[in-house]
Structure 1
């Protein structure tokens, strides 16, 4: 008689072998109705679990948790989609991903080895440190992306937002701009602070003019770029160039200009950050900084894979340099 295996049950139930394993181990990730269906098929076929295999199954969920600082506010929808898509492409076959917000989780109960084989933390804020520490203390394989952290015992892949914003601002200065506005990103995010500091340093070094009404608080979301730009354009005098701290806000800012009858870049120049996939399709095409999101995620997945298969020797630290992308949204004032 042919041996009945998990694969046999999976074919009969028309589900994946991972779902069968979880159902037979009473995983909360499988609906009760599906569990009952799978257990009945297992009983009907006379399935006898292999104890050694069962032990292995209980240690693996084949789910990787991807945790963001904030999902409702702050995290750009475009950045979120980029990270998720790249993660799905880069993960080893058979793994699924689960997305959640660090802010929304109860750090004492929400994350365990039972739920996830490993985790990727896309960190924006130092407020995430308690959550990161908790996962490491519980022995969960984890890598940290996007923000440089102080811990030396965990792999960390990030970029230099200060350098990227400095390159961008220096380009605008070279193009003859001396009056600058800024739409800042989410308040607690390290990237906001780094990009703003580059703005402050370059404008100070070039003796540029920055008036208080030209500096607006944003959230990294498009509507905040729109509102911030409307406020800047409502001032008695306007800057010649506005740095929207990410592309989503820059897109909102461009729209605000159009709604109020301003031409970009003829009347006012706008620069962004991230080089999201749509940036080259905006009208005008956006001058921005390419944040190496794909490379950061790929490096993180590679490191996590090594942690999962036991081949990781020492934590990896890497800073990937951003690239200035010059397009059409900055007017040349040198003429």
Structure 2
């Protein structure tokens, strides 16, 4: 099967077929769709190695995630994937399993010209290494960030959203509010802790160090830390938890201790995963625009790949507090 066969059936030139495959943004939508339809019907596979040799492009994007088992990233990845495919790119995925060395190894694929650019959904490697990579290749950070780096970044304001979640509990009348954090070597954990602390301070509430317990993103860690909080003589009446999966762990610990949510302990999570709306009780949480974060990150990366100069590098998308049963009783 040759490119000329595709061109003949689509009634376009071979040059147009080539542009659809290599520079789709330069072809009209109607023509692009017509050519892609023929390509799918014929199951045409372009000679990628030859194309790379001619254009020095792979038409491939590398996306690096800290933990592929974390449900949060699925919608972010979908936003990236849809935007990439619509622009003629394919996505390959790298899972670091929260290992900075693995993150560095994936970044090295750019040095080997195995991808045209990279979206990092994690930022754990050394700041100077990241600066080196981003100065040589198109790179965008999404969800996490590193202060002082001139790399395009897409995220929400984790400090203000955590403050909003904690203030919701304060407005309900709670004064003894605990926080189960994520790992403190991750910037998002530190930001959400800051938001929690800011909310308490702005309402003249004491920050009790014992009420701040560190988890590791997992259900199990939050379950154990919640049991520890419940063992204190002075137990909290509410808890803000780093993410929804951990919030489920905290609620399970409350239930297993013979208590009720929210009557005895109110719980607020973060991320608005699908599970948070079906779990009993439904979980109050902060909604992140996950799909839109992926879309925006990919849009920015395409601009960098196409040689555009970005007038703005930092993009903060809107979050929303979703109030459900875990903080407010149905009755």
TM-score w.r.t. the length of structure 1 is 0.76
Over 3 Å counting, the alpha-carbon distance change for 1:330 and 1:150 in structure 2 is closer
Counterparts of 1:92 and 1:300, CA distance in 2: 14
Contact 2:80–2:297 (8 Å) recurs in 1: no
Give, in whole Å, the separation in 2 of the partners of 1:198 and 1:4.
58
SS at match of 1:99: strand
For 1:151 and 1:63, the matched residues in 2 are separated by 28
CA distances 1:130-185 after superposition (whole Å, capped 9, x unpaired): 34223223x22111212344456432212100000111111111110011111111
Work out the CA distance in 2 between the residues paired with 1:197 and 1:4.
59
Q: How far apart, in 1, do the equivalents of 2:4 and 2:113 lie?
A: 20
Q: Secondary structure of the residue that 1:77 maps to in structure 2?
A: coil
Give matches, 1:1-335, under 5 Å.
4-5=2-3, 17-18=45-46, 20-22=47-49, 55-56=53-54, 59-68=56-65, 70-71=66-67, 77-93=70-86, 94-100=88-94, 101=96, 102-107=100-105, 109-112=108-111, 114-125=113-124, 127-137=125-135, 139-150=136-147, 153-209=150-206, 211-331=208-328
Q: Is the 8 A contact 1:124 1:191 kept in 2?
A: no
Counterpart contact for 1:76–1:220, Cα < 8 Å: no
- CA drift at 1:109: 4.2
Q: Quick one: distance in 2 between partners of 1:281 and 1:244?
A: 18
RMSD in angstroms over aligned alpha carbons? 2.9
| Residues in 2 aligned to 1:254 and 1:284: alpha-carbon distance in whole angstroms | 9
2:23 aligns with none
Residues 178 and 189 of structure 1: is their aligned pair in 2 closer, same or farther, counting only changes over 3 Å? same
Counterpart CA distance in 1 for 2:191 and 2:69 is 17
Q: Can you give the 5+ residue segments of structure 1 that lack an aligned partner in the other structure?
A: 26-52
Secondary structure at 2:111's aligned position in 1?
A: coil
Choose 193-202 or 210-219, whichever is displaced more.
Answer: 210-219
Q: 1:103 to 1:84 in 2, by over 3 A?
A: farther
Question: What is the DSSP-based 3-state SS (H/G/I as helix, E as strand, rest coil) of the residue aligned with 1:91?
Answer: helix
Deviation at 1:312, TM superposition (A): 4.5
4+ long deviations beyond 6 Å: none
Q: Relative to 1, partners in 2 of residues 1:112 and 1:16: Cα closer, same or farther, differing over 3 Å? A: farther
- Hey, what's the Cα distance between the residues in 1 that align with 2:52 and 2:245? 47
SS of residue paired to 1:103: helix
* Alpha-carbon shift at residue 194 of structure 1 (Å): 1.1
SS at match of 2:297: helix
Note the residue ranges of structure 2 that are not aligned, 5 or more in a row: 7-38
CA distance in 2, matches of 1:193, 1:277: 25
1:274-311 CA-to-partner distances (Å, cap 9, x unmatched) read 11122111211111111222222211111112223334
3-state SS in 1 of match to 2:194 = helix
SS of 1:56's partner is helix
Identify the range of structure 1 (75-84 vs 165-174) with the bigger mean alpha-carbon deviation: 75-84
The answer to which of 75-84 and 321-330 deviates more is 75-84
